[in-house]
Structure 1
Amino acid sequence: MYSALAGKQLRSTMLATARGNLWEGAVRSSKTISSIMVWLRYVRTGPAGPLLMAGKTERTLKRNIIDVIVAMVGTQRCVYKAGAGELILFGRTIYTAGANDERAAEKIKGLTLAGAYLDEVTTFPESFFAMLGTRLSVPGAQWFGTTNPEGPNHWLKKKYLDRARLHLRRDGQLAESADPAAIDLHRFSFSLEDNPYLPAPYVEALKVEYQGLFYKRYVLGEWCLAEGVVYDMFDEKRHVVDLLPDMQRWMCVGLDYGTINPFSALLVGIGADQRMYVASEYRHDSRVARRQLTDAEYSQGLRGWLASYEHRGTKGVSPQWVFVDPSAASFMNQLWSDGMPGVAKANNDVKDGIRSVSVALGQNVLSIHRSCAGLLSELPSYAWDEKAAKAGTDAPLKIDDHSADALRYALHSTAHEWRPLTRRNLEVAA
């Protein structure tokens, strides 16, 4: 199932001898498999004592790392105890933990650790990472981690990676720091091209999928600022349509609630051609209308919009889900009381949501009907907040973003449903 390590993959495993060892760079660049091979060796041969494996959440840790290890060594040598926070690997008990908020540091407070494996380190709170350093107190303890790049002012890069004693760079050169303040950390930087086992058409398809900021970070492996237009891959000629195909199903509505600010709802369906379409938009801007609506009036307007929507001779649609801005609790209650089916809180992870929209646009599985005037006016000018980027945070400007937010809610909340459409495109390309 897994090919032998080669090139930079193999070299990094031989250089992972420091107290801290981190593989960073592009997606699918083999940094994870290289780090796992080192971790398996460490579990068998490292110093005695408790071990830890951590990810953004235990669920992502299982998906990204534990499931891969099970596939490599089998279920007899790797047993994950779901809900118990433990993994038995080669007969050795390993604690597992999620580290997605500031409370995570409490999970490891008081532990004495002989080693740790860390997945998606940039998603950890700095407090968790700092606490971990104090817990690795067994003589000879090491930690091994992976991450994709973020902004150059992220705490992990500024406080740790930039001070690494040894750096295997993206160009394959090995750089050793002469700085007396360098820390005992070995850094291994990967680009997409460092995985020799990926088929060339697949690599090219990934380069199409990830564009703009995500191309620089996830293909080139660069730590770069989030600046400029968020959806710079959006092209009116490519993504805007005047006619819709037959619709296979109406997947969802994404809804951004507003009183003084605009209220925006987008109807999204999957066509018979296996592509997504933003088919219609319901929008009320109280600044233009000079009248604010109540929750009851918004609910009536939303339900009326869906009931009156016509497509190819059929009037009225019933989307499977209505994903609402999670801060709009009172409006969700109104929809529930009015009998609106499928109402749920939207997934409001901003950066991952932007990435979902970017993938859909970049992989050309999303089109927008020309009637969605609010959305089409916002997408070309939806921009990153450069002040936030310089402070180490990726965030879009909160200006004229209401339909853009509704689109993010719709696509990120249903990513598990439409992602196979992008994989189908990649498989065709490969």
Structure 2
Amino acid sequence: MQLEKILNKHFTKKQQQVLDQFINNDKWDLMINYGAVRSGKTVADNYCFILSLLRVRKIADKDHVKDPLYILAGTSRKNIYNNVLNPLFNDFNLIPEQDSIGNLHLFGVTIVLAYTGTIAGLRGIRGSSAYGAYINEASLANEGVFSEIRDRCSEGEGRIICDTNPDVPTHWLKTNYIDKDSPLIISNHFVLDDNTFLSKRYIESKKATTPKGMFYDRSVLGLWVTGEGVVYQDFDQNTMLVDEIPDNLNYYCGVDWGYAKGHENVITVFGDDPETDITYLTGIFNSTGKFIDYWVDIAHKIQEEHGRNINFWCDSARPEYVNYFQENTINARNADKSVMDGVEYCAQRIKTNKFKVLRSCAKPFLDDIYQYVWDPIKGVPKKEHDNVMDSFRYAVYNQHKKYENQVLENIYL
């Protein structure tokens, strides 16, 4: 009872849950505490950081290792100081010693700093073997850096703790780690109400003054939701992803030319169900650094599966590529690239539940659609995360425009 009073005085129930997992569960090697702003997750991680260093020192003693390494990571040195080192001093009166090369020392453990914003942040840990890591603001980390830090934690138990605010629902940290059903990964979801040390007035004010939608869902409820200003805001992967598609679909494709990183080439394959008028996205071929002959081979494979006469609605910005497709017996057509008309048509099909995505090919589509947003100044979609989206628009808008125009012509003849 006395211990419970002490814990309740210093930690919220949610923080106590995290500490219990840290101390009494030896099965995990990655703990992710995520959720709302000011919900207490970083405090829990900071305390786990201290416990980690004490634990590492004990394990190193058993291994007869004089100078064990531990990685402390964040987007920048300033963020590491503000979020981790400053609270260490204010809350625990702990000041790590710093050596001549910038490493920190506490409890007989050498703490190596790593900066996760870019791949260059790996310089400080290359070639090292660590006993564990604490990654602050993990969703802001470069995925390659995050993976490298995990690989470096090969000594002792090699446990990693991290905290983060939520991001888009397709973020790699969520899909590859939090959503993964593994006893080696623990994730704890924090909401604003979990921080019982905040005043009731502050919490009520925060809820009342935070705009509804993405801002409220992320900062109060701690949810991984899509951002504000998303072009296709009615797309819902919970209802629009399917595991099977009907037979006898009418197939066609969209092509967005590209080559370099950030401007990949994309061919999307769609099929319309003539009975329900539902459009299905059934395939995505996307890559960088491939020449036109590679894409001719892809198009021929699509023809072999769906018929020689399948339409390829292409970006007209590369007429030489369109011509090359045509020379290779591919039914390539210049797409009407009207952005607003095309977006409006695609958005209407999504809104009226006339669009589905085959789950097995969904990842590239989901990666783009949740980050494809309006430019608030120009009033058009930003030229970011648009490769799959452009291919989607070229195909669906032009295919339906073509046949709808044919129907109108037949009516008036």
User: Under a length normalisation based on structure 1, what TM-score does the superposition of the two structures give?
Assistant: 0.49
Residue in 1 aligned with 2:227?
226
Q: Is the 8 A contact 1:78 1:88 kept in 2?
A: no
Equivalent residues in 2 for 1:109-120, closer than 5 Å: 109-120=126-137
Confirm or deny that 1:72 pairs with 2:49.
no
Query: Could you say which structure has the larger radius of gyration?
Result: 2
Residue in 2 aligned with 1:410?
none
Residue in 2 aligned with 1:216?
217
- Residue identity matched to 1:32: T
Which string of whole-angstrom CA distances, capped at 9 and with x for unpartnered residues, describes residues 106-139 of structure 1? Answer: 4422110101111000000000011111111103
Q: Is the 8 A contact 1:30 1:195 kept in 2?
A: yes
Q: Distance in 2 between matches of 1:399 and 1:210?
A: 20
Instruction: Rate the CA distance shift 1:393–1:97 in 2: closer, same or farther, 3 A.
Output: farther
Identity of aligned residues (%): 27
Residue in 2 aligned with 1:57?
76
Equivalent residues in 2 for 1:279-290, closer than 5 Å: none
From 13, 25, 29, give the equivalent of 1:7: 13
- Residue identity matched to 2:220: V
Q: Is the 8 A contact 1:120 1:146 kept in 2?
A: yes
Instruction: Rate the CA distance shift 1:159–1:401 in 2: closer, same or farther, 3 A.
Output: same
Q: CA deviation at 1:229?
A: 6.8
Q: CA deviation at 1:71?
A: 1.2
Confirm or deny that 1:125 pairs with 2:142.
yes
Root mean square deviation of aligned Cα = 3.3
Equivalent residues in 2 for 1:26-41, closer than 5 Å: 26-41=36-51
SS at structure 2 position matched to 1:93: strand
Q: Distance in 1 between matches of 2:183 and 2:147?
A: 14
Instruction: Rate the CA distance shift 1:44–1:388 in 2: closer, same or farther, 3 A.
Output: same
SS at structure 1 position matched to 2:179: helix
Q: Is the 8 A contact 2:137 2:164 kept in 1?
A: yes
Q: Is the 8 A contact 1:226 1:389 kept in 2?
A: no
Equivalent residues in 2 for 1:147-296, closer than 5 Å: 147-164=164-181, 182=182, 184-211=184-211, 212-228=213-229
Which string of whole-angstrom CA distances, capped at 9 and with x for unpartnered residues, describes residues 349-407 of structure 1? Answer: xxxxxxxxxxxxxxxxxxxxxxxxxxxxxxxxxxxxx99874386463236349xx9xx
SS at structure 2 position matched to 1:95: strand
- Residue identity matched to 2:87: V
Q: CA deviation at 1:83?
A: 8.7
Q: Distance in 2 between matches of 1:25 and 1:83?
A: 37
Q: Distance in 2 between matches of 1:39 and 1:84?
A: 22
Confirm or deny that 1:102 pairs with 2:119.
yes
Q: Is the 8 A contact 1:85 1:97 kept in 2?
A: no
- Residue identity matched to 2:129: T
- Residue identity matched to 1:214: F
Instruction: Rate the CA distance shift 1:227–1:6 in 2: closer, same or farther, 3 A.
Output: closer
Residue in 2 aligned with 1:89?
106
Q: Is the 8 A contact 2:114 2:122 kept in 1?
A: no
Residue in 1 aligned with 2:35?
25
Residue in 2 aligned with 1:136?
153
- Residue identity matched to 1:26: A
Residue in 2 aligned with 1:398?
375
Q: Distance in 2 between matches of 1:213 and 1:45?
A: 39
SS at structure 1 position matched to 2:226: coil
Q: Distance in 1 between matches of 2:118 and 2:46?
A: 25
Q: Is the 8 A contact 1:153 1:391 kept in 2?
A: no
Q: Is the 8 A contact 2:226 2:370 kept in 1?
A: no
- Residue identity matched to 1:61: I
Q: Distance in 2 between matches of 1:134 and 1:27?
A: 29
Q: Distance in 2 between matches of 1:117 and 1:392?
A: 32
Q: Distance in 2 between matches of 1:125 and 1:139?
A: 25
Q: Distance in 1 between matches of 2:171 and 2:183?
A: 17
Q: Is the 8 A contact 1:87 1:94 kept in 2?
A: yes
- Residue identity matched to 2:375: K
Greater share of residues in helix: 2
Instruction: Rate the CA distance shift 1:68–1:393 in 2: closer, same or farther, 3 A.
Output: farther
Q: CA deviation at 1:147?
A: 0.2
Residue in 2 aligned with 1:302?
none
Instruction: Rate the CA distance shift 1:393–1:63 in 2: closer, same or farther, 3 A.
Output: farther
User: Under a length normalisation based on structure 2, what TM-score does the superposition of the two structures give?
Assistant: 0.51
SS at structure 2 position matched to 1:163: coil
Which string of whole-angstrom CA distances, capped at 9 and with x for unpartnered residues, describes residues 15-45 of structure 1? Answer: 1342111110001111111111111111112
- Residue identity matched to 1:38: C
Q: Distance in 1 between matches of 2:165 and 2:100?
A: 27
Single out whichever of 155-164 and 92-101 deviates more from structure 2.
92-101
Q: Could you list the runs of 5+ residues in structure 1 that have no partner in the other structure?
A: 165-181, 231-385, 406-430
User: How many residues are treated as equivalent by the alignment?
Assistant: 233
Instruction: Rate the CA distance shift 1:90–1:209 in 2: closer, same or farther, 3 A.
Output: farther
Q: Distance in 1 between matches of 2:52 and 2:229?
A: 43
Which string of whole-angstrom CA distances, capped at 9 and with x for unpartnered residues, describes residues 122-160 of structure 1? Answer: 000000011111111103110111000111100001111
Q: Is the 8 A contact 2:229 2:374 kept in 1?
A: no
Q: Is the 8 A contact 1:112 1:137 kept in 2?
A: yes
Equivalent residues in 2 for 1:326-365, closer than 5 Å: none
Instruction: Rate the CA distance shift 1:192–1:23 in 2: closer, same or farther, 3 A.
Output: same
Q: CA deviation at 1:183?
A: 5.5
Q: Is the 8 A contact 2:115 2:122 kept in 1?
A: no
Q: Distance in 1 between matches of 2:162 and 2:88?
A: 15
Q: Distance in 1 between matches of 2:128 and 2:46?
A: 23
Q: Could you list the runs of 5+ residues in structure 2 that have no partner in the other structure?
A: 1-6, 61-67, 232-349, 351-363, 383-413
